Amino acid sequence: MDENKICFITCVNDEAVYEESLLYVRQLVLPKNMQLEFLPVRNAVSMAAGYNLAMKKSDAKYKVYLHQDVLLLHKNFLLDIMQLFHEHASVGMLGVIGCKDLPASGVWWGADRLYGRVLHAPEPESISPAICLDIEGGFCRADVVDGLLLATQYDILWREDLFDGWHFYDASQCFEFRRQGYEVIIPRQTEDWCMHLVKQKPLGLVYAKYCDVFLKEYRADMAGISLSVASK
């Protein structure tokens, strides 16, 4: 793996939105001796399948899986995540918002303890911050982080065998990293690192289908996390 390369991986179905996202990425401060790589995946059959395809193509040690409608506002984003990865070899993946104590429903935003922050902008004139609990120190460990932005320093296959659509691929990957002995974290953010231009839409039966798949595969893992927390 090339330790001097950071690859941005995005599933793309709207070229104009993706190009706007790239404008923000190109404004980031690049760590010394590092280079950027961009791998857009078009016509992906699922998020997990698209991410696996790009992951296998890139030899970059560090990868950022970014939704096409996310704008990176924090100019030192790359500096900050690289520092975390260099200082904590046990950290496999990070996100900008998520939860501790994933509820039995499997839906992370239903948890009692939400951490991180992100700006939501469903319309240009409508921007709302999602600011959750404070994080002490440089980061907090998380059960699940949202898939709008996921950065990794190790390659672990996405479970396209189970998640052949567009939901729960992110929650699944959090559990897959922990199965391999790595931690999933949310960095402390004193300012908004990113803006998500997502438009709200009903989740529907397809979401419920993949939620059931997730719970069937990871219910024992969820119980194990709860027992570990309770014993501390």
- The predicted model scores a pTM of 0.94
End-to-end CA distance of the chain: 36
Determine the topology of domain 2-231 in CATH. Answer: Spore Coat Polysaccharide Biosynthesis Protein SpsA; Chain A (3.90.550)
Residue 8 has pLDDT above 90, yes or no: yes
Q: Give per-residue pLDDT as tens, 137-189.
A: 999 999 999 999 999 999 999 999 999 999 999 999 999 999 999 999 999 99
Find out whether 64 and 77 touch, Cβ atoms under 8 Å.
no
More confident residue, 228 or 123: 123
The confidence score (pLDDT) of residue 203 equals: 81
Q: Percent of the chain having pLDDT more than 70?
A: 95
The C-alpha atoms of residue 208 and residue 17 are separated, in whole angstroms, by 28
Residue 226 has pLDDT above 60, yes or no: no
The C-alpha atoms of residue 127 and residue 106 are separated, in whole angstroms, by 27
Domain ranges for the chain: 2-231
pLDDT average, residue stretch 8-16? 97
The confidence score (pLDDT) of residue 125 equals: 61
The confidence score (pLDDT) of residue 223 equals: 86
Q: Give per-residue pLDDT as tens, 46-100.
A: 999 999 999 999 999 999 999 999 999 999 999 999 999 999 999 999 999 999 9
- Helix-then-strand count for the chain, H and E: 5, 13
Q: Where are the beta strands (DSSP E) in the chain?
A: 2-12, 35-42, 60-66, 70-72, 91-95, 97-100, 113-123, 126-131, 139-141, 144-145, 149-152, 183-187, 194-196
Residue 1 has pLDDT above 60, yes or no: yes
Q: Dig out the tokens for 65 from the structure.
A: 């899986």
The confidence score (pLDDT) of residue 231 equals: 46
The confidence score (pLDDT) of residue 198 equals: 84
Q: Give per-residue pLDDT as tens, 98-143.
A: 999 999 999 999 999 999 999 998 766 667 788 789 999 999 999 9
**Close Cβ partners of 181 (under 8 Å, ≥ 6 residues apart):** 90
Q: Where are the beta strands (DSSP E) in 47-177?
A: 60-66, 70-72, 91-95, 97-100, 113-123, 126-131, 139-141, 144-145, 149-152
